[in-house]
Structure 1
Amino acid sequence: MNILKSFMFIVFFVTTLVSAQQKEIALEEIWNDAFKTEKLTALHSMKNGKQYSVLNSGKHNSQIDIYDYKTLTKVATLVSSEQLEGIEMFSDYKFSDDEKKVLLATDVESIYRHSNQGYYYVYDTVSEKLMLISEAKIQEPTFSPDGTKVAYGLNNNIYYKDLDSGKTTQLTYDGEKNKIINGITDWVYEEEFAFVKAFEWNATGSKIAFLRFNEEDVPEFSMDIYGQELYPTQQVFKYPKAGEVNSEVSLHVYDLASDEAKEVVLTKAYADYYIPRFKWTNDANVLSAQFMNRHQNELDLWLINAENLKGNLVLAETDTAYIDVTSNLTFLKDNSFIWTSETDGYNHIYHYDKSGTLINQVTSGNWEVTSYYGYDTDTERIFYQSTEDGSINRSVYSVKLNGKQKKRLTNDVGTNSAAFSTDFTYFINTYSSTETPTVYTLNNAKTGDVIKPIIDNDKLVQKLSDYDISTKEFSTIKINGYDLNMWTIKPSNFDASKTYPLLMFQYSGPGSQKVANSWNGDKDYWHQHLAQQGYIIACVDGRGTGFKGAAFKKVTQNELGKYEVEDQIATAKQLAKLPYIDEHNIGIWGWSYGGFMSSNALLKGNDTFSMAIAVAPVTSWRFYDTIYTERYMKTPEENPSGYDENSPINHVDKLEGAFLLIHGSGDDNVHVQNTMRMVEALVQADKQFEWMIYPDKKHSINTGENTKTHLYKKMTRFIHDTLGKDRKSQKESENN
């Protein structure tokens, strides 16, 4: 009887396992968050270094909960929307330096990629009183260091509110839409230098430094917004395309005592320049500012006396190609500073004295520092993330300021990132790999030892065990003299004696990476869905991508789309020689820069690729913005052949395979103009193709309940119809 029961259990287990392996990923599941990982939301380390706060939200309530690092137990709820009159939910929060007050964000709406506006309240944790900062929606509210004031942007001007008196003071008065912006970046700075708040309090709260943008002469771009009304509206904004006029940017210092703002004028004459970063030092009267030429291959770091506004040039970097701007500048107590640079060919950490004299290079080697986490003054240790375990991996390390006693703080190979407690006693490590969904652990910052697990996503692992999931295989492939990183996904029932169509995915933009040892994103699940339909998916990071040194990354300078396309075509040709790859059915797809690449690959590699999908592609670099494009290409006047010879719009006559173009009409980044001009060129070349416009959708095409599902269903159908036979129908026929 026991033997029979055991046998029946084994049969049941095997049957269940087999049936579980037959379960396929439905496209609806991917974008309905069926495979969503649990996360820690809005994590903030408290000033005492012993606790951290997290934003926890339900359907009709949000609250800030305080947790103890040592026990990971919740010790208090700091504030809940249930106890606040007039606030049903808040979506984000920010503490004052003393943590006695907290900013609560409500009814926040997006403007561009990084910018938004909303109603903001200040909650006093001592008095438990709530104060609305402004009756209007504002941008980037920021506490003064002593927590008595909040500065913010409104209607292109800067204001601050005194929280004790309730009085609001206006700092600037000349702000006007599409003309003058104070304290908030213009479109191109936000997109390409990745910051929005262009004002900052000094250490004592007596001064505010800010940028002023005069964009009056910048050409305007307009987009029709179709909406739901009888007549569409227009969105008109300043967008400087390659070679066109930029905003005139200037740096100013406002003194609260005198209620006066003065412009910083430096001794060095800059004809056409950017100010990509500025930051107060620990000295309340010393402001740092980085000035960069338009070609972005010269970067100057200035220290400016806030009283007389005289500047001292302390560091000047140059590069034959370009310099990447970072936010890693850290001033120590003596105003010596930590800086990251690619000076020696790889991104590393340097320590300079306050006059700009190099004290020492802290890290070195044929690997990259990928994140700088901070400096602990008590132990004189720097904490950082790097590629020391291979360019597709990330590990966390600490090292003394003098470059000695380096210690690896994470053990698992994959992608590790750290959030340190204020006193650098603990860090919460976020780890994932292609085999392990995101895991959060509490770690000792001195030894790296795991103290306790926080979130493990085991439920997701258990859920995915019911699905037919293939392994993502990592390798390198020798292409054009380089060992390129590659991953491959094959059908789980892969049979080397059969042939399979190949779909290649890539992005390929300067400094990017798609071949990374980290957990799945939405596109990964879609690739798994395609593998279940009988396709092999491959991704290769070619020349120009990141984390393998400056020379590898910057080889594409002045020739965007040349070497990257050559590598994708050569990869396809090499993979086509494998006996199980159908050489007549090789496709490629990508989004944004990846769409630019897939278009070029299909056209220039028309003897290799039989189909391509391009989502939101740049079709000519003449249509894209100044900061990004000129960083890699100079201006069209200086480099016309670089612009034109590598833009797909100029190679439409080469189209032989199947081509699908997709764009959102409300894309403020890569304008739908790119696709419209490409369509017209294809039509006049008498080339057949497919295309789809998503009304009012932005660059990510992600608004609307069914938009993403519709998009990926369309791409999936196109792949079935063009990459050989209808693979899904064929697969169903084989199963029957």
Structure 2
Amino acid sequence: MKPFLFFVFPMIAATTAVTAQDNLNDQRIASDPAMLNLDRIFADHEFKERSLGEYRWSKRTASYLTLEVPQREGQGQDLVRNDAATGKKEILVPAAGFQPKGEAEPLKVEAFELSTDESKLLIYTHSQRVWRRNTRGDYWVLEMGKPGSLRKLGGDAEPSTLMFAKFSPDGTRVAYVRANNIYVQELTGMKITAVTADGSPTLINGTSDWVNEEELHIRDAFRWSPDGSSILFWQFDTSGVRQFHLINNTDESYPKITSFPYPKVGEPNSATRVGVVSATGGEVRWLEVPGDPREHYIPHAEWSPDGKRVLVQQLNRLQNINRVMLAEASTGTVRTVLTETDEAWLENDNPVRWMAGGEKFLWLSERDGWRHAYLADTNGKSLDRITTGDFDVIQIEAVDEANGWLYFSASPENPTQHYLYRQRLSGGKPERLSPASQPGWHSYEFSPDAQWAMHTHSHFTQPPVVALIQVSDHKVVRALEDNQKLREKLAALKQPAAELLKLDIGDGVLLDAWGLKPPAMDPSLKHPLLIHVYGEPASQTVRDKWPGERGTWHWMLAQQGYIVASIENRGTPVPRGRAWRKSAFRQIGILAAQDQAAGVRALLKRWPDADPARVGVWGWSGGGSMSLNAIFRYPDLYSTAIAVAPNANQLLYDTIYQERYMGLPKDNAENYRLGSPITHASQLQGNLLLIHGTGDDNGHYQGTEQLMNELIKHNKYFTAVPYPNRSHAISEGDNTVRHFHGTITRYLHQHLPVTPATAAKEP
């Protein structure tokens, strides 16, 4: 497929010369095993790291379950129990056990879950994507140890229409969502009961609308009560929320339109409420949460261990007040037990974690300037701090209440890294468990009893190693994936010189950064500098962690002669304290652009081999917006920008994300204007490539079209490559990911060339 290019005016001779040079380079690189190329990375996936794959910890024994390709002949995968201590394997379900009667092949098991007593297995397959994730599909139940007992749930429901199926606590029933209603199916006679019946295109039960899924991560929006008698669920009323329309021009002869409620900043939200209903259906008891349901969010709700109460969190629309309420399940009455406030915003980082049998719960707060763990009681009278000190608890990893331990991730000395710590729930000094001999990034998946964990470790230039550890002393029990083949491939490459560094931009501000330089640099030559940016409060780019295939693409550019770098500006979610993170409040796109420009100038001073006349920037989503702000607002510094799926006008983005950081448009109109790249489009002087999926439900192609109009109005030339019907990820369809990276690479060769003489000239 040939991409559509908008307003491209390079001189023909120059373009032809660059294309010919690209072809020669591709041929040379393809024949050299020490050199990377696009096909090796994105078509053949030679450098894709391996992970452990789908697995589940047992809740009854010290073991975990995996899906494994049989050593014997046959199709499908075995379900295998792995003893944590000994490594002994036991096949619980052979691959043939996943084959329905009358079918030629076993089911492709995408996910699975065991009942509490582990007598039954719930199987998820034939999944379909719902916005970000594949959350709609088919579910089957298998009785363990009973060949031929495989049964499909849903009755005569259309294929791939069930969502979030889960066993009742006693394992006799399964509840799921279909067509915006909640159903319970008995496993003896397979009888199906509609628990809710009012679901419609505008009334959603048990799952969520677009914006609550995207920004508050509410997808599975119902919970069995501990005794299985009732179901707690969210309901979203989207009536009154304006519809956004995506147009698919390629699948059929006539355009196909997908419409969905999408509240842009300042617009009405869905009305959200939480209720309790009998598992056999009937009248819903709505929790009496106060306030306008369209002006508040409910990010979390959970049953108490005794099933008599529900802990509910309610954020106001500005997301600077979080009221934690305890509701009586039998009456719906509520009382506030904790109120968290912030002058800027509050993050949604407190899933319900019960302690002391339901009389207390864990809480994360930045109220002292650092994110720390607290223990709150349900009577609202005490909030006791567990962790202390000038460092951030990045996240709670596990709680071992029986032995008195809190496990959490932190990195007090280096915000680009990630380590496991533990501390007594009663207080005391934190103890680092991640080995001092392994700097970099550590992540953990704990067993339910917090005695074992799957440990993944990598750093900036080394792919991950996965091992099973004994948590108490971090002893490696066995290696599970060492990515040795990938390591050997990387070792055979001409590797770029990699560096993690700090940049002084004045006023006592130090910015973290990473850099990749060509493997063999000629000191007499200057090299183009390409900055990879994100820069908003939702993500961190400077991490001492293996960067995956896209990071390998950065390696490829360095091999070709580029210096590639990334800078972490203020306002990003790094563990450097509340003041660092909240400094971006009400000035998204403003402070970050200033920090990025200051960081680039610091890099140019630090690296005399970087050419100040050839500085480029590229980014995706918020990074696309930041790339636009960079080249528009600092035309003397950046000569080339590539903006992927940008948000050119902050007024076009959704309520929950944009209002969290910027406030309401009527209260912060000037900074909404100044932070939006479209405001500064008239200042473009360099080369600009816009890339956007026309089916992007998140950051809409609409904004890029509005930006195009503004650039045209000011006679500013640019290149635009729309990817038909692709989402925000621009990954759907044959060859899309390879083509996408090829598009960017060719544009860099033309407009940010390693050899300036090959640059295409604009008229």
TM-score normalised by L of structure 2: 0.90
Provide the residue aligned with 1:74 in structure 2: 89
2:587 counterpart letter in structure 1: E
Q: Is contact 1:49–1:423 with CA below 8 Å preserved after alignment?
A: no
Structure 1 residues 60 and 673, CA gap change in structure 2 (3 angstroms)? farther
**1:460-496: CA deviation from partner (whole Å, max 9, x where unpaired):** 1111111112132001001243111000000010244
Q: Please give the alpha-carbon distance, in whole angstroms, between the structure 2 residues aligned to 1:57 and 1:237.
A: 40
Of residues 560, 569, 573, the one that matches 2:597 is 569
The reply on whether 1:518 has 2:555 as its aligned counterpart is no
Structure 1 residues 610 and 202, CA gap change in structure 2 (3 angstroms)? same
The reply on whether 1:101 has 2:129 as its aligned counterpart is no
Structure 1 residues 677 and 269, CA gap change in structure 2 (3 angstroms)? closer
Q: Please give the alpha-carbon distance, in whole angstroms, between the structure 1 residues aligned to 2:290 and 2:351.
A: 26
Q: Please give the alpha-carbon distance, in whole angstroms, between the structure 1 residues aligned to 2:84 and 2:478.
A: 9
Provide the residue aligned with 2:501 in structure 1: 475
Provide the residue aligned with 2:397 in structure 1: 373
Which secondary structure state, in structure 2, belongs to the residue aligned with residue 191 of structure 1?
Answer: helix
Moved more, 409-418 or 666-675: 409-418
The reply on whether 1:691 has 2:713 as its aligned counterpart is no
Q: Please give the alpha-carbon distance, in whole angstroms, between the structure 2 residues aligned to 1:256 and 1:76.
A: 34
Provide the residue aligned with 2:318 in structure 1: 295
2:64 counterpart letter in structure 1: Y
Q: Is contact 1:543–1:567 with CA below 8 Å preserved after alignment?
A: yes
Deviation at 1:406, TM superposition (A): 3.3
Q: Please give the alpha-carbon distance, in whole angstroms, between the structure 2 residues aligned to 1:120 and 1:83.
A: 12
The reply on whether 1:146 has 2:139 as its aligned counterpart is no
Q: Please give the alpha-carbon distance, in whole angstroms, between the structure 2 residues aligned to 1:143 and 1:727.
A: 63
The reply on whether 1:46 has 2:58 as its aligned counterpart is yes
Of residues 49, 55, 64, the one that matches 2:79 is 64
How do 1:195-594 residues align onto structure 2 when only pairs under 5 Å count?
A: 195-256=218-279, 259-266=282-289, 272-332=295-355, 333-404=357-428, 406-411=430-435, 412-481=438-507, 482-546=509-573, 547-577=575-605, 578-594=607-623
Structure 1 residues 21 and 343, CA gap change in structure 2 (3 angstroms)? farther
Give me the identity figure in percent. Answer: 33
**1:335-392: CA deviation from partner (whole Å, max 9, x where unpaired):** 2111112222222111112213335211122222223122113202111211235211
Q: Is contact 1:511–1:553 with CA below 8 Å preserved after alignment?
A: no
Moved more, 138-147 or 450-459: 450-459
Provide the residue aligned with 2:37 in structure 1: 26
Q: Is contact 1:441–1:455 with CA below 8 Å preserved after alignment?
A: yes
Which secondary structure state, in structure 2, belongs to the residue aligned with residue 637 of structure 1?
Answer: helix
The reply on whether 1:660 has 2:660 as its aligned counterpart is no
Q: Is contact 2:285–2:331 with CA below 8 Å preserved after alignment?
A: no
Of residues 179, 196, 199, the one that matches 1:172 is 196
Structure 1 residues 662 and 318, CA gap change in structure 2 (3 angstroms)? same
Q: Please give the alpha-carbon distance, in whole angstroms, between the structure 1 residues aligned to 2:293 and 2:599.
A: 44
Structure 1 residues 158 and 270, CA gap change in structure 2 (3 angstroms)? closer
Q: Is contact 2:137–2:162 with CA below 8 Å preserved after alignment?
A: yes
Give the number of the structure with larger relative contact order, counting CA–CA contacts within 8 Å between residues 6 or more apart.
2
Deviation at 1:170, TM superposition (A): 0.6
Structure 1 residues 662 and 726, CA gap change in structure 2 (3 angstroms)? farther
Provide the residue aligned with 1:191 in structure 2: 214
How do 1:570-719 residues align onto structure 2 when only pairs under 5 Å count?
A: 570-577=598-605, 578-719=607-748
Which secondary structure state, in structure 2, belongs to the residue aligned with residue 438 of structure 1?
Answer: strand
Q: Please give the alpha-carbon distance, in whole angstroms, between the structure 1 residues aligned to 2:721 and 2:321.
A: 42
Structure 1 residues 559 and 265, CA gap change in structure 2 (3 angstroms)? same
Q: Please give the alpha-carbon distance, in whole angstroms, between the structure 2 residues aligned to 1:233 and 1:241.
A: 23
Structure 1 residues 465 and 269, CA gap change in structure 2 (3 angstroms)? closer
Q: Please give the alpha-carbon distance, in whole angstroms, between the structure 1 residues aligned to 2:380 and 2:285.
A: 26
Provide the residue aligned with 1:15 in structure 2: none
Q: Please give the alpha-carbon distance, in whole angstroms, between the structure 1 residues aligned to 2:659 and 2:741.
A: 33
Which secondary structure state, in structure 1, belongs to the residue aligned with residue 512 of structure 2?
Answer: strand
Q: Is contact 2:345–2:660 with CA below 8 Å preserved after alignment?
A: yes
Q: Please give the alpha-carbon distance, in whole angstroms, between the structure 2 residues aligned to 1:703 and 1:374.
A: 36
**1:62-111: CA deviation from partner (whole Å, max 9, x where unpaired):** 33221111233422243525552244312111222222212111110101
Moved more, 141-150 or 687-696: 141-150
Deviation at 1:295, TM superposition (A): 0.3
Structure 1 residues 165 and 260, CA gap change in structure 2 (3 angstroms)? farther
Provide the residue aligned with 2:143 in structure 1: 124
1:571 counterpart letter in structure 2: G
Structure 1 residues 111 and 416, CA gap change in structure 2 (3 angstroms)? same
Q: Is contact 1:497–1:579 with CA below 8 Å preserved after alignment?
A: no
Which secondary structure state, in structure 1, belongs to the residue aligned with residue 593 of structure 2?
Answer: helix
Q: Please give the alpha-carbon distance, in whole angstroms, between the structure 2 residues aligned to 1:95 and 1:727.
A: 61
Structure 1 residues 291 and 728, CA gap change in structure 2 (3 angstroms)? farther
Q: Please give the alpha-carbon distance, in whole angstroms, between the structure 2 residues aligned to 1:170 and 1:220.
A: 28
Q: Is contact 2:92–2:144 with CA below 8 Å preserved after alignment?
A: no
1:536 counterpart letter in structure 2: I
1:70 counterpart letter in structure 2: A
2:93 counterpart letter in structure 1: L
Q: Please give the alpha-carbon distance, in whole angstroms, between the structure 1 residues aligned to 2:52 and 2:468.
A: 12
2:487 counterpart letter in structure 1: V
Q: Please give the alpha-carbon distance, in whole angstroms, between the structure 2 residues aligned to 1:409 and 1:237.
A: 47
Q: Is contact 2:120–2:171 with CA below 8 Å preserved after alignment?
A: yes
Structure 1 residues 89 and 270, CA gap change in structure 2 (3 angstroms)? closer
Which secondary structure state, in structure 1, belongs to the residue aligned with residue 165 of structure 2?
Answer: strand
Q: Please give the alpha-carbon distance, in whole angstroms, between the structure 2 residues aligned to 1:51 and 1:725.
A: 54
Number of residue pairs the alignment of both structures matches: 712
1:388 counterpart letter in structure 2: P
Structure 1 residues 540 and 255, CA gap change in structure 2 (3 angstroms)? same
1:72 counterpart letter in structure 2: G
Deviation at 1:315, TM superposition (A): 0.3
Structure 1 residues 631 and 79, CA gap change in structure 2 (3 angstroms)? farther
Which secondary structure state, in structure 2, belongs to the residue aligned with residue 437 of structure 1?
Answer: strand
TM-score normalised by L of structure 1: 0.93
Q: Please give the alpha-carbon distance, in whole angstroms, between the structure 2 residues aligned to 1:226 and 1:62.
A: 39
The reply on whether 1:112 has 2:139 as its aligned counterpart is no
Which secondary structure state, in structure 1, belongs to the residue aligned with residue 463 of structure 2?
Answer: coil
Q: Is contact 1:38–1:457 with CA below 8 Å preserved after alignment?
A: yes
Q: Is contact 2:419–2:443 with CA below 8 Å preserved after alignment?
A: yes
Deviation at 1:706, TM superposition (A): 0.8
Deviation at 1:723, TM superposition (A): 1.2
**1:595-638: CA deviation from partner (whole Å, max 9, x where unpaired):** 00000100000010001000000001111000000001112122
How do 1:157-168 residues align onto structure 2 when only pairs under 5 Å count?
A: 157-168=181-192
Moved more, 721-730 or 487-496: 721-730
Deviation at 1:272, TM superposition (A): 1.5
Structure 1 residues 725 and 459, CA gap change in structure 2 (3 angstroms)? closer
2:690 counterpart letter in structure 1: L
Q: CA RMSD for the aligned pairs?
A: 2.1
Q: Is contact 1:209–1:254 with CA below 8 Å preserved after alignment?
A: yes
